[in-house]
Amino acid sequence: MKLQGKVAVITGAGRGIGRAIVKMFALEGANIVINYSKSKKEAFSLADEINNDGRETLVVKADVSKADEVKKMIQKTVTKFGRIDILVNNAGIAIPAAFLDSTEEMWDQTIGVNLKGAYLCSREVAPIMLNQKSGKIINISSISGMAERTAVNNTPYVVSKAGMIGLTRSLAVNLSPHINVNAICPSLIDTDMVEATFTPERKKMSIQEYLLKRIGRPEEIARAALFLASNDSDFITGEILTVAGGKAMR
């Protein structure tokens, strides 16, 4: 019960990595705010599952790229729980497009959800955590934002994830010493997003670059998030934790 009594806001929590993090955090004692934008059915079924296990939940529909919706989500959280201990900026989209094939709409949508969303959520949560003199912010970036050659042709996505790494380091400085801010950079994870954006051929080719010769599971990212959310990581901030099966090893 490493998160007993904590309140965690997890964006993009209806499916994939976000859903796995909700389950992991609830199992460890946290009460959860489940944010979704489109996955309403999945979000409420997840809440039912968590409630049956004795945790409290709040399900909030909010587009994290819109400041007014983020503000309302955080206000609802404080009204219900009175505090926020953990924020996981997980909401993300991927629209595969090389630079010359990308459009302004693709750019705005991807940067808006992936990067601006993390900024807006952190901006709303930070004053609450600073007032508490404690808090953990975890950004779910990607090895695509580091130096993954097979992904750098996907310009909007790569830039958004690289931006999350920069945002993580900036927030760690600006919100110290009371708030720990770290990022997780996964590789390919077995989620609906990967299924929608990777052809079987491309996935097979990518896996050959992994030392462990497989893609990751959402639960493996959730375990990393649990570490960064718990007291086990109290002396860690501004760091980028790569969970990539050896693919990003230097």
**What is the strand order of the sheet 7-10 is part of?**
57-61, 31-36, 7-10, 86-89, 135-140, 179-186, 240-243
DSSP-derived secondary structure for 165-194:
HHHHHHHHHHTTTTEEEEEEEE-SBSSHHH
Yes or no: say if 188 and 203 are a contact pair by the CB < 8 Å rule: yes
> Angle CA(131)–CA(137)–CA(139) in degrees, nearest 5?
155
Task: Encode 7-29: b = buried (16+ Cβ within 10 Å), e = exposed.
Answer: bbbbbbbbbbbbbbbbbbbbbbe
Yes or no: say if 144 and 150 are a contact pair by the CB < 8 Å rule: no
Single-letter residue type at 180 = N
Q: For residue 7, which of 88, 106, 110 has the smallest C-alpha distance?
A: 88
Is 119 noted as a catalytic residue in this protein?
no
Task: Encode 203-228: b = buried (16+ Cβ within 10 Å), e = exposed.
Answer: eeebbebbeeeebbebebbbebbbbb
What tokens does 250 get?
A: 């230097």
What tokens does 62 get?
A: 């909010």
Number of other residues whose CB lies within 10 A of the CB of residue 175: 20
Single-letter residue type at 30 = A
**Annotated active-site residue in 36, 119, 157, 210:** 157
Catalogue the active-site residues: 157
